[in-house]
Amino acid sequence: MCGRYTFEPGTKFYDRFDISNRLDYLSKSYTVSPGKIMPVITHDSSNLVWLMKWGLIPFWANDSKIGEHMFNARAESVVEKPAFRKAFNTQRCLIPANGFYEWKPQAGKKIPYYFEIKDRPLFAFAGLYDIWTDPVSGKETYSYTIVTSAPNETVKPIHDRMPVILEQKNESIWLDKSTPTNTLVSLLQPSSESLIASLLTSGILRV
């Protein structure tokens, strides 16, 4: 799974993802957690950045609380699972990040391990988003989830899941609405171990 990640956009964020619009403000966070509002990149005629809530609320949900349990989507079932099927077909997105945390039980405690990518200070998770309309107020909520896969050999000793990190050359393929399903599924693989930097451990997450 992926329950925490970091985001520090830096000065080249918009150029890095070839984004055509601009947000009023981009805040950095060393502990992005489910429920937070964060930048998400979509594509129509160009790449656009939006602020969305982490924890996907399916468009058909009766209650927004379902999103509290939908912050990850398993790559193995994302094509068929009702909560993600529509989003997988038509509402794929990029989740920009600098690194992510996984926890390992150790001596009765859960120790956070931080992972980042060699030579890629800013990368993107494969994501899905949806738009939910409150049946009472009519207010729309844009929300997203991060797709996860089995771990690679670097992450495996720490956790049995990891977020899908797209190679930069594949980001536009993931966003393209015309990409065939079999091609999309082929992208949902564990990152090569050579891309994962040496893991860092810390008993305290930075805030």
Q: Is residue 206 domain-resident? A: no
Selecting among 8, 68, 93, 102, the annotated active-site residue is 102
Give which of 185, 139, 163 is closest to 32, Cα–Cα: 163
Q: Name the amino acid, one letter, at 160.
A: D
Q: Is 102 a catalytic residue?
A: yes
Q: Is residue 114 domain-resident? A: yes
Q: Name the amino acid, one letter, at 105.
A: P
Place of tokens 């997450």: 205
Please give the structure tokens belonging to residue 22: 């601009």
User: Where in the sequence is the domain holding 117, given as residue range(s)?
Assistant: 4-201
Selecting among 2, 93, 116, 171, the annotated active-site residue is 2
Give which of 96, 160, 84 is closest to 126, Cα–Cα: 96
Give which of 192, 183, 160, 191 is closest to 79, Cα–Cα: 183
- Phi and psi angles of residue 114, each rounded to the nearest 5 degrees, phi first: -105, 135
Classified as helix, coil or strand, 85 is helix
Q: Is residue 174 domain-resident? A: yes
Per the structure, how many domains does the chain have? Answer: 1
Q: Is residue 136 domain-resident? A: yes
Q: Is 2 a catalytic residue?
A: yes
Question: pTM for this one?
Answer: 0.93
Q: Is residue 207 domain-resident? A: no
Per-residue pLDDT for the chain (207 aa), expressed as one digit of tens each?
789 999 999 999 999 999 999 999 998 999 999 999 999 999 999 999 999 999 999 999 999 999 999 999 999 999 999 999 999 999 999 999 999 999 888 888 888 888 988 788 899 999 999 999 999 999 999 999 999 999 998 888 888 999 999 999 999 999 999 999 999 999 999 988 666 654 444 443 332
Classified as helix, coil or strand, 6 is strand
Q: What is the CATH number of the domain that holds 176?
A: 3.90.1680.10
Question: What is the Cα 162 distance to its own chain's centre?
Answer: 11
